[in-house]
Amino acid sequence: MSAALTAPELPAETARRRTFAIIAHPDAGKTTLTEKLLLYAGMIRTAGMVKNRKTGRMATSDWMAMEQERGISITASAMQFEYKGCIINVLDTPGHQDFSEDTYRTLTAADSAIMVLDASKGVETQTRKLFAACKLRGVPVLTFINKCDLPGRDPLELMTEVEEVLGIQASAMNWPVGSGKEFRGVVDRRTGDLLAFRRTAAGGAQRAELERVPLSAARAGEILGPELAAKLRTDLEMLQIAGNEFTREDFLAGRITPVFFGSALTNFGIEPFYDAFVELAPSPSARQATRLDGTAVTIDPLTAPFSAYAFKIQANMDPRHRDSLAFVRIVSGRFERDLVVKHYHRGEFVRELRLSRPQTMVARDRTTLDVAYPGDVVGLVNAGFAIGDTILAQAGPAKDGFEHAPLPQFPPEVFARIQPADLTKRKSFDKGMLQLASEGAVQVLRSWDNPTGDPFIAAVGRLQFEVLVYRLRDEYGVETELSELPFQCSAWLVGDVETFKPTHGSMLARDHRGKPVVLFPGEWDKRYCAGQNPQHSFRDIL
């Protein structure tokens, strides 16, 4: 896009943005599905799986070395590219529950979400949690039931489970023909066409060969055979009678999820799914914010001046420069390179600065951009932002600014002390800890009674500690010694700290913002402590 585009372009450019997150339980095929979108958008010639032992090729969105070694997504990544006239901003999120904080923060930047389910496992634990986060924020969800090329559960049973477990109506937009080795393709229920796929020698690394045939045509009968054709007719008749009618209004309101079937591995059903996605998914809309005086304000993407907020910080994406990148979601207005903005941190004006190094991203790869619009995710290098900071291009005094809705923070469940194995590496250790804590990868806590003493670290899951130790060694050259502490849950304290009485085994600490947080050996201890301090309460989310 050229910087020559003027303000009248804003409505059209905003309308063609699709900013979404992909959510799933680990191993449901989320990152593979993301990779196939890059393939069909023409961004890559050959798709790499999350694990590919034969070729050694890894998924584009899994850029971190540890992700490639373990075959899991550890950190959220952002990618922007064009697909059939729309500008796609895809936010690939970690599926593992130990990295749920990163996922929840990333969901705040999404206008919609794609929920990936394994056809053999259905709705799993982490899927429920992520869907609940989408529902809480009013994010509409499309469902892709993956791995239809493997033995799986009955599609009608899967649809019923989505409705009963997640509490949302489900409407099948297409329907699988066969399953496992007999998976032939899908039927587009809107057009009545059979989309028959043929396996390619490339094994999913290239586009699938697709033949579109009216279901009533003789050719469809040849492809299906009498047995598959009979079962398909029965299924479609049942859906016609008992299925939920889809309306885009209900979808955007979060009352219904459109359901698609396919196989990300073989590319069966991928292109029709993404074609439907760009048609159904919403473009950026108005968001709520809070003025510095505490009053609420609605930020319209087309009429409000430029505004954005940082939802993620990532250090060392470029190993050559060891920089820090802020992922910024544009909420309103037109962004231009060298724009002068006001920076707000936790509701207070910090400074004015010029944004001279904006980047657009495909995972680790970056390109300098000149202009961006609502819905876009922009990378700002070494800009000094923290997670949740707001930036505005506004006339008038700084006190007239506002703050976008705060990002959620969750209480940690595992705790440890960490120090460099070699004390001569202390400077590198401190630098690494400062940068990695700023990403939200771990939380840094200190004793309430001794705030100048050595800090300790806390996280939602133990795998975050493994990532921390790995990255300190890989990115900062520091070997560390980590010893876990005997606490299993925590909560923020509400009430007068001076009158709070910690129970045996609990500990009062302060987080990086100075807020009191209580650490407990277990859930029973937390409940007991609450009973012993009736004038206080605990919060499980900030």
Name the one residue in this structure whose structure tokens are 């250090």.
Answer: 315
In angstroms, the CA 90 to CA 392 distance is 24
Q: What are the chain's domains? A: 16-280 (3.40.50.300), 292-404 (2.40.30.10), 414-539 (3.30.70.3280)
Which has more pLDDT, 129 or 179?
Answer: 179
Residue 359 pLDDT grade (very low, low, confident, very high; cuts 50, 70, 90): confident
- Is the whole model's pTM more than 0.75, yes or no? yes
Residue 44: its pLDDT value, please? 72
What angle (nearest 5°) sits at the alpha carbon of residue 476, between those of residues 470 and 481?
50
Specify the pLDDT at position 443: 86
Tell me the pLDDT tens digit for each residue of 117-126.
999 999 998 8
pLDDT value at residue 381: 86
Q: 335 - beta bridge partners?
A: 372
Is residue 115 pLDDT above 60, yes or no?
yes
Higher pLDDT, 253 or 325: 253
Q: Write the CB contacts of 120 (distance below 8 Å, at least 6 apart in sequence).
A: 147, 150, 151, 152, 153
pLDDT digits (tens, 9 = 90+) for 53-65: 344 444 444 444 5
Whether the CB-CB separation of 410 and 541 falls below 8 Å is answered with: yes
Q: Tell me: the pLDDT tens digits for 381-418?
A: 877 898 889 999 977 777 778 887 766 677 888 899 99
> Mind listing the pLDDT tens digit for each residue in 152-206?
999 999 999 999 999 999 999 999 999 898 899 999 999 999 999 887 655 567 7
Q: How many CA atoms lie within 13 A of 414 on its CB side?
A: 16
pLDDT of residue 56: 40
Per residue in 72-99, pLDDT (tens digit) is: 443 446 788 899 999 999 987 664 454 4
The confidence score (pLDDT) of residue 407 equals 66
Alpha-carbon distance 122 to 335, whole Å? Answer: 41
